[in-house]
């Protein structure tokens, strides 16, 4: 579909909506749909990239937030292995990175 839109857009010298509507007026909806889908996907991937950048820069701190159980998102089952060295991992507990 993308290559067809590119070829038709090159031939008609219009964008995705105008190019498909020049071929057949009913195809205008396909052009609008492709623009909407592209917008939604771009927004989705922008959020993913923002989280990746956040975690990248956060990883340079001396104490990363996901290494302890003192955060608001931790559950009561949070267990820090370094503080409980004389016992094994209790049933149902999770380390901070597992949460």
Domains of the chain, by residue range, sit at: 2-60, 66-99
For residues 24-50, give the mean pLDDT: 92
- 53-80 average pLDDT score: 84
pLDDT category, 90, cuts 50, 70, 90? low
Burial class (CB in 10 A: 0-12, 13-18, 19+), 16: buried
Mean pLDDT value of segment 25-41: 90
> So what's the pLDDT on residue 94?
66
What is the structure's pLDDT at 60? 93
Residue 50, pLDDT score: 98
35: its two tokens: 């623009």
């Amino acid at each position: 579909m993308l290559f067809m839109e590119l070829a038709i857009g090159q031939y008609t010298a219009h964008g995705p909506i105008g190019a498909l509507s020049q071929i057949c007026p009913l195809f205008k909806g396909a052009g609008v749909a492709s623009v909407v889908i592209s917008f939604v996907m771009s927004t989705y991937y922008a959020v993913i990239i923002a989280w990746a950048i956040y975690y990248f820069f956060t990883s340079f701190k001396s104490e990363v937030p996901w290494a302890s159980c003192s955060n608001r998102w931790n559950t009561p089952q949070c267990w820090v292995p370094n503080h409980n060295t004389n016992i094994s991992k209790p049933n149902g507990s999770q380390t901070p990175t597992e949460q």
